[in-house]
A = this chain, B = another copy of it.
C-alpha cells in the first residue's frame, strides 16, 4: 500500500488540467482497490496524488462531482460491454438476452460503481445527471434501438420505450438485489438470472410460443 506520493511538481501555466486527470485516476484507483465509496475521501485522493485536499476543489465542485466524474468512464464501459455482447448476433431476441446478461455481469463485476450509478440518492447526482447520462446517453438509446428491432420483427408489440423500461427494471432488479443482499439464500445465481431474463422476455412477446 503506497501511502503518499510526496513528489509532485507544480503544473505550469496552462496545464492545470493535468492535476484534474491525476485526481480522476487516483480516485478511480481508490474506488477499485477498496471497492468502497466511503474510502474515496477527498483527503485520501489528495494524499495519493501528492497534493493538499483543497486543491481538489479547483477542479471539482464537491465530492459528489468527483465521484460521478469517476463513474462517467465506467458508464461508458457498461454501454460498451452491453453493445459488444450483442454484436454479431442476428436473432433480435437472443441479442436482447445477451444484452441483459452483459448488463447484470457488469454490475456484479463493478459493484461499487453500479451502486453509485443506479442505487444512490438522486440528490447525490449533479443536476441533470440522470437525463444526460441515462436517457440522453447512448446506453438507454441503444437498448431502445434493440427493442425496436424486436418489435419490427413482430416478436414484441407495443411502445419501444415502455418495453425498454420493463427490461431495464428486470436486469436492474436482479443486479441490485444480488448486490444489496448477497447473503440471501439465492438458489443458484446463474439459474436465477436466467429465470429472470426468461420471465422478462416471455412477458413481453406478443405471441408466446
Give chain A's interface residue range (CB within 8 Å of chain B). Answer: 35 or more
Per-residue CB contact flags for chain A residues 118-143 toward chain B (1 = under 8 Å, else 0) read: 11111000001011001100000000
- Contact: B131 with A183, CB < 8 Å? yes
- Contact: B119 with A185, CB < 8 Å? no
Q: In the complex where A169-B196, A192-B165, A196-B169 touch, is A180 in contact with B131 (Cβ < 8 A)?
A: no
Q: In the complex where A169-B170, A196-B166, A199-B203 touch, is A184 in contact with B115 (Cβ < 8 A)?
A: no
Which residues from 132 to 173 on chain A have a C-beta closer than 8 Å to any C-beta of chain B?
Answer: 134-135, 158-159, 161-163, 165-166, 168-173
Q: Is A110 an interface residue (CB 8 A)?
A: no
* Cα–Cα distance between A195 and B52 once the two chains are bound (Å): 51
Number of identical monomers bound together in the oligomeric complex: 2
Main secondary structure of the interface of A (DSSP, over half): helix
Q: Is A85 an interface residue (CB 8 A)?
A: no
Q: Is A11 an interface residue (CB 8 A)?
A: no
Which residues from 194 to 209 on chain A have a C-beta closer than 8 Å to any C-beta of chain B?
Answer: 195-196, 198-204, 208
Mark A residues whose CB is within 8 Å of B. 115, 118-122, 128, 130-131, 134-135, 158-159, 161-163, 165-166, 168-174, 176-177, 179-187, 191-192, 195-196, 198-204, 208
